[in-house]
Amino acid sequence: MADPSITDAEFQRFQRLIYEIAGISLADSKKVLLVGRLGKRLRALQLKSFGEYHDLVAHGNDPLERQTMVDLLTTNETYFFREQAHFDYLQNTIVAQHPPRQPFDVWSAAASTGEEIYTLAMVLADSLGVKGAWSILGSDISTQVLATAERGHYWLERTRGLPDAYLHKYCLRGVRSQEGSFLIAPELRSHTRFMQINLNTTLPDIGRFHVVFLRNVMIYFDNDTKRQVVARIVQKLHPGGYLIVGHSESLNGINNTVQLVRPTIYRLPLAQGKA
């Protein structure tokens, strides 16, 4: 069955809705993506138009369907060791300069399906030991991708970017009915926790972090939303903590509290805030 059509007015209503919920500026060029992803919900719910579906999620009393819409419109591609230079800097500079035997806390603020979280876990296990005092919080607005992340179970074709040495050291290959898949080792998963967090609202009490990864999500925000999101996240950094953004992103004109260390890597001065 062909996807239902959407009018310009209906598409604009969804643009406003996803902006209000998540701060995401959905470009006009994303109309085909929206129709493809939400069209399946219209068919499943036997709705005749996108206008009906909008009214259901915007004004109806169905938070699960509203979350489903958010999940469908915010899921993005990710893979292990994406933008390798960030993990090299984390290991060779940030962790190397961290006081020995002191806790080390990282937040992956746009965790998606978890590849970034477990890349971080492998790097920290290598640097600080599997039994070291380190932890990783993974958050996303999508509960669907967080469920995948928390399981830590992937098909072998998802190993793009993952070094063979890490695959053998920190992953368990599936056998029998699980053949063709791998599971992140329990000793790494024990250092992780997961939480649904909407960066476009007041952040929950999640503590402070030595490093926050906020990569490849700000490209979906307008400048006002970027300023608000980054200001909230900077408040969650320890003095001297680092904020790392995606390779096509910059905080120039967005925030002057953190200072540029090198392109895409920013640091909160030690004099800021309390330890």
Q: Does 105 participate in catalysis according to the annotation?
A: no
Cα distances from 46 to residues 25, 50, 53, 191, in angstroms, run 28, 11, 10, 43
CB atoms within 10 A of CB 33: 13
Which residues have CB under 8 Å from 268's CB, separation 6+?
A: 234, 237, 238, 239, 240, 241, 242, 243, 257, 258, 259
Side-chain-side CA neighbours of 264 within 13 Å: the count stands at: 18
Closest CA to 193 of 129, 134, 144: 134
DSSP state of 208: -
Q: Which of 140, 189, 215, 267 is catalytic?
A: 140
Q: Which of 37, 66, 227, 232 is catalytic?
A: 37
Q: Does 140 participate in catalysis according to the annotation?
A: yes
Q: Which residues are catalytic?
A: 37, 140
